[in-house]
Amino acid sequence: MFGLNRKPQPATSSIYNKTETVIGANTRFQGSLTSDGNIRIDGSVEGDVEVLGNLIVGETGRVIATVKAQNVHVSGAVKGEITAVEQLEISPTGKVWGDITTAALHIEPGGLFRGQSAMTSTIDEPLLLEAPRPSEG
């Protein structure tokens, strides 16, 4: 019936299935973008992006924004601060300029990240990581 001639989309990961909102490749959006579900950006977004679900920035996606989401997968370009509660993944075609905060960071060979990263964790810092004491001698 409908959609039988569609080309299959490559699966980035099982956590990114069931995209509810798509910003198409020929679409430009400026402002605050909020969603309780998953979003895929193949176009251009400028402003703030806050997603309770997952965010995928496709190869043609260009984002200049403050981004907050559960998981973020970047195959395009993102400039701005990113907070990914669970994981940030940068594919070989992905480029990120800006500071990031996440529990897990995965950068595939060819992917670009320029900025500072902070890892979030629910685990307290072990006492073994205290600064070394100067040796007396």
- pTM comes to 0.77
**Closest residue by Cα to residue 54 from 18, 93, 81:** 18
Judge whether 127 lies within some domain.
Answer: no
Confirm whether 81 is domain-assigned: yes
- Per the structure block, which two tokens stand in for 62? 């260009």
How many domains are there within the chain? 1
The pLDDT tens digits for 5-35 are 444 444 444 444 587 899 999 999 999 999 9
Residue 55 falls inside a structural domain: yes
In a domain? residue 28:
yes
| Residue 56: inside a domain | yes
Closest of 84, 81, 86 to residue 69, by C-alpha: 84
Full domain range(s) for residue 29: 15-109
Q: Tokens at residue 106, please?
A: 């995965």
Q: Has residue 36 been placed in a domain?
A: yes
Residue type, 126: P
Q: Given a cut of 90, is residue 135 above it in pLDDT? A: no
Q: How far is CA 125 from CA 66, 94, 111, 120, 128, in A?
A: 28, 31, 30, 11, 8
